[in-house]
Amino acid sequence: MRQLVFAGPGSLEWRDVAEPRLSSDEGALVRPVAVSTCDLDGLIVAGASPFPAPFPLGHECVAEILEVGDAVGSLAPGRLVSVPFQISCGTCEACLAGRTSNCAEVPLMSTYGFGPAVERWGGFLSDVVEVPFAEHMLVPLPDGLEPAAAASASDNLSDGWRAVGPPLADLPGADVLVVGGAGPGSIGLYAAGLAVALGSRSVLYVDPDDGRRETAARLGAQTLAEKPKRVGPYPITVDASADPQGLKLALRSTSPDGVCTSTAIYFGDQPSLPLLEMYTKGITFRTGRVNARSAMPHVLGLAAEGHMHPELVTTRRVEWDDAPAALADQGWTKLVIERD
């Protein structure tokens, strides 16, 4: 079968590899039909990530089930499913608590499309992908929801939700600040759109990029181009900037007893944070990898019900064979690669 491989900065190749087979009665084989880029993919393709080439790409997708193990009773071939990018069992203590990014049954950072276990699990830009723990991991696509619109539920769309969904459940209608811009910049846009969908009275999206601000406005957010020292205060803030100044803006703009979540990845040590102000105001600061499988039903439901329109964040859709050139182009916020 064919698999798209990151071979080096700006170099992407289709390679012939052995087709995976079921290794467990609890697993499934799936055929990706819509694969979307993660914001991290922009760094990977440019050679700016810490993951050395070569390795297979793709970790956001909707797929068609091809085959299931004998112990899988709730899923059948032909069903369209959303596939989380992290491997998780669904039964360990961490998974039962919703912390599916730290499943105890697999090595840390077991993911598709990048990371230390990528050679075991491959990437979604492949003809066939093995999914263990299928009944837990595979989330059926709601009827009427287009695969291209839902592809990012595997990671970035769910990442946006975790930054605003739980805080808005605790503070219904609260105002939200999102500082966007990390990599291609989709996570901040998803967070802003989801905050609107979840009933925030006011959402401010801060980003110097004109195109992303236009998208944020279409999603229902107010926008600001420059990054001042502080705005607000806001009871819920999101740093999706991967910029130390953006992180400080989000932290300084968090109201007393408020919550700031950083979805951005910072490589290396960062300049000091405004810790005295954070301490004085008693804010909660959250960072870390998204627990994608736990968040996926929430975002798929919002999209299926028409409250959130993730397709507004998509800037380009291409056919499967055009994936290498489209990924290398880097002129996208969210690229979706589709198979007939």
Please check the confidence at residue 267 and state whether its pLDDT lies above 90: no
- Nearest Cα to Cα of residue 146 among 36, 28, 37, 221: 36
Task: Give the tens place of pLDDT for each residue, 28-69.
Answer: 999 999 999 999 999 999 999 999 999 999 999 999 999 999
pLDDT digits (tens, 9 = 90+) for 174-207: 999 999 999 999 999 999 999 999 999 999 999 9
Q: Are 332 and 326 in contact (CB under 8 A)?
A: yes
Domains of the chain: 2-155+292-338 (3.90.180.10), 156-287 (3.40.50.720)
| CA pseudo-torsion sign 243, 249, 250, 256 | positive
Residue at token pair 């380009």: 316
Rg of the chain on CA atoms, in Å: 19
Is 90 exceeded by the pLDDT of residue 330? no
- If DSSP codes are grouped into helix, strand and coil, which group holds residue 9? coil
Which pLDDT score, from 0 to 100, does residue 270 have?
80
Running DSSP on this structure, what letter comes out for residue 91? S
Q: In whole angstroms, what is the distance from residue 313 CA to residue 301 CA? A: 17
Rounded to whole angstroms, how far apart are CA atoms 191 and 63? Answer: 24
CB-based contact 228:246 (threshold 8 Å): no
* The residue type at 14: W
> β-strand 284-287 against 254-262: which pairing, if any?
parallel
Q: What percent of the chain has pLDDT over 90?
A: 96
- How far CA 217 is from CA of 65, 175, 225, 241, in Å, comes to 37, 16, 12, 18
pLDDT(271) > 90: no
**Which pairs count as long-range contacts for 97-102, CB under 8 Å and 24+ apart, including other chains?**
98/291, 98/294, 99/291, 99/294, 100/291, 100/292, 100/293, 100/294, 101/288, 101/289, 101/290, 101/291, 101/292
